[in-house]
Structure 1
């Protein structure tokens, strides 16, 4: 088993002394650090290889940190990339502007390097957890989609794809019907919430109602029941 490569970070700061000190400290902590003296150079480095996290100053010539972050967030490749602001601009209004622009953390100079390392590790850990969750969701979605396809095939082979509705009438609200249709497509709660512009918790509530109304206990059981009784569009 190969050893995992250390996380690669990008540090953008126009102060040579601070840039070198932060680079050395982060490398001592086991990170690989690319450095840039301005936003343009930082952007060019990111075209060659995407770092796992960006640390940038705000007060820089030509393109400042706020503008650099806006440029990153406008690019789909870097929209969710963790970004830390290191800056002498420590007023509350500056912090608010930083967070509104899309930074993940804000450290005012002078700062404790140990705090910077803790923030970096925390953001990288959260990013890794998020990616693992997306991977798990994708795997579960694929499994459910496959099961649904098998159910539809089986019902089609049995000539039941257009069976008459169940004699037990099930009254579904328009929202319940919409969610049932999307469940039958194989979508997970997160995708359904995104499609219907609502919260995941709301979707979970409606899926639970559908389980209750149909007497089923899982998504595949729900889809099988819905297809057998003509409940989906």
Structure 2
């Protein structure tokens, strides 16, 4: 690697890692508040919903890194909520933890058959929940970093980008002029943003720019900070809405 490339990679100060965003869905206010407080004390950002319908709305607004949901809820239960997520390409690979009073072996088997990634029975140790969440997030990060060309994650992100672009189009089929906005991006940040918007994952971006995956992660973190976004989907949506991609 040339010295010029190395110089670009060391440009600017390292941005602190943004906390993982979790979505907690439970219809018991006391338990919901207690679990939220414990998770936030463990350095997670936590969105909360009192039922599955509210949870689904929050999923559309802020894509989380992981979902924690009760099973026994009015109107739409946890199994139906999980099924709805698994049928949507945007949430198909999203880690889901069942946190529920249904603790029989048959209940756990049913939960895993439905597609949950972990099953924790109430009452539970909050520390165990934190460990489960961290393990699932680390496993997802490793899988994403080691993904190869044509991985379903890349295809899913490309599909999300296409849906965002379609949402921005008017009935006439012409994309409206994005509102003016000024964000000071370095040339390398711009390059990373353009490649993220194309649906490339960090490993492929690193290969394109002849740098390390770690450096790409730093640039993506900077982009999150500068745009006020918390996920790649939010970042792409923001960039497309404000004409930041080239």
Tell me the TM-score normalized by structure 1.
0.58
1:113 maps to 126
- Structure 1, gaps ≥5 residues long: 140-233
Counterpart mapping for 1:8-157 below 5 A: 8-134=21-147, 137-138=148-149
Tell me by how many angstroms 1:48 deviates. 0.8
Counterpart mapping for 1:150-229 below 5 A: none
Tell me by how many angstroms 1:56 deviates. 0.2
Q: How far apart, in 1, do the equivalents of 2:144 and 2:29 lie?
A: 34
Tell me by how many angstroms 1:43 deviates. 0.1
Moved over 2 A (4+): none
Q: Which has the higher helix share?
A: 1
Q: How far apart, in 1, do the equivalents of 2:129 and 2:62 lie?
A: 23
Higher RCO, 1 vs 2 (CA within 8 Å, ≥6 residues apart): 2
Q: Which has the larger radius of gyration?
A: 1
Structure 1 SS opposite 2:98: strand
Tell me by how many angstroms 1:4 deviates. 1.3
Q: How far apart, in 2, do the equivalents of 1:76 and 1:119 lie?
A: 24
Q: How far apart, in 2, do the equivalents of 1:51 and 1:23 lie?
A: 14
Tell me the TM-score normalized by structure 2.
0.55
Q: How far apart, in 1, do the equivalents of 2:76 and 2:146 lie?
A: 35
**RMSD across aligned C-alpha pairs, in angstroms?**
1.0
Structure 2 SS opposite 1:30: coil
